[in-house]
Amino acid sequence: MNRPPALAKQLDRCDVCGDKVHRDQLVMTQVEFLQLKAENYFNYSSYDTNWWTMDDAVDAGSISYGNRCDNARTTLSDANVISYLNGVQTWTGNGTLREIAANGTYSSSGYVTMSAQVGPHEQNTSPEMTVNLGICNSDGSVKQIVKTYTISGTTQVWFYESVATLNGYGLGPGDGEFYFYIEVTNAGNWWIDELQIEFNVNTLPRSSQGYPENFVRTSGASVFSSSHPEQGAITARKVCPNCQETVLKKTEKFGRTDEPPVADPVSTWNQEF
């Protein structure tokens, strides 16, 4: 059978329609979008030794795809060893990820929503796991479970609780200050990412039940809703040929104008080099 030659090209996904195409067909373009209101009181939304510590579980390296697998890539060494690029921190065995610095201070009349993405490694043969969320004391020796999940795949786990109730457990260093933790029971490899703390999300439009709102990543400093409000913005996106806009496409949407489709030529004697 006559077969066409294979194209050794890397695939990537269009940021607009989501289709996978060869990367050489993608172009960068500016697009308008609505930046949604978001906040995160965790200084680090991913594992970082400046903010988080892991008890009991063994460090397996950044070997999971995580919640945003399109960001991950595989690379093959000269020794035929496959490794991950942009992988998510992964752990082996039962363990507790907890803060090493107190988080807060929150008003005792408010509510806190803690959330994270948790999942088994993609090759975990026993993916079911138990996930406990709550607060603990400074060294993690005393824990108070606020919510428990049993999951078998990537899941957003979260709890919504009043600051007054959390204060009542007596584990924080002060009024409205807490050490948050996530405890995972699983013998295989698993990961935690996109950790987030929001305050009084019941005032936002998505839900009146404290459900986590829009995720915003942090790396060294908290992000407050006052500095990340809902507003229009422009960003760059890589788009496939089907989603690329011609120059007049947007103009045609609102009706043609009397302007010519291209600029008038410039006289040669007016040009400078």
Question: What type of residue is 48?
Answer: D
Same domain (yes/no): 69, 202: yes
Would you say residue 9 lies in a domain? no
pLDDT in tens, 109-139: 999 999 999 999 999 999 999 999 999 999 9
Stretch (H or E) spanning 165: helix 163-168
| DSSP-derived 3-state class of residue 249 | helix
Q: Check pLDDT > 50 for residue 272.
A: no
More confident residue, 226 or 181: 181
Would you say residue 4 lies in a domain? no
Mean pLDDT of the chain: 86
Q: What pTM, to 2 d.p., does this model score? A: 0.80
Beta carbons of 57 and 19 less than 8 angstroms apart: no
Single out the residue of 156, 27, 174 nearest to residue 102, CA to CA. 174
Beta carbons of 175 and 166 less than 8 angstroms apart: no
Would you say residue 6 lies in a domain? no
Q: In whole angstroms, give the CA distance from residue 77 to residue 83.
A: 8
Single out the residue of 210, 215, 143 nearest to residue 181, CA to CA. 143
Q: Which domain holds residue 107?
A: 37-229
pLDDT in tens, 71-84: 887 888 888 887 88
Same domain (yes/no): 21, 97: no
Task: Say how many residues make up the chain.
Answer: 273
Would you say residue 96 lies in a domain? yes
Q: What is the pLDDT of residue 10?
A: 81
Same domain (yes/no): 208, 134: yes
Please state the domain count of the chain.
2
Q: Is 149 exposed, middle or buried (0-12, 13-18, 19+ CB in 10 A)?
A: middle
Would you say residue 2 lies in a domain? no
Same domain (yes/no): 78, 126: yes
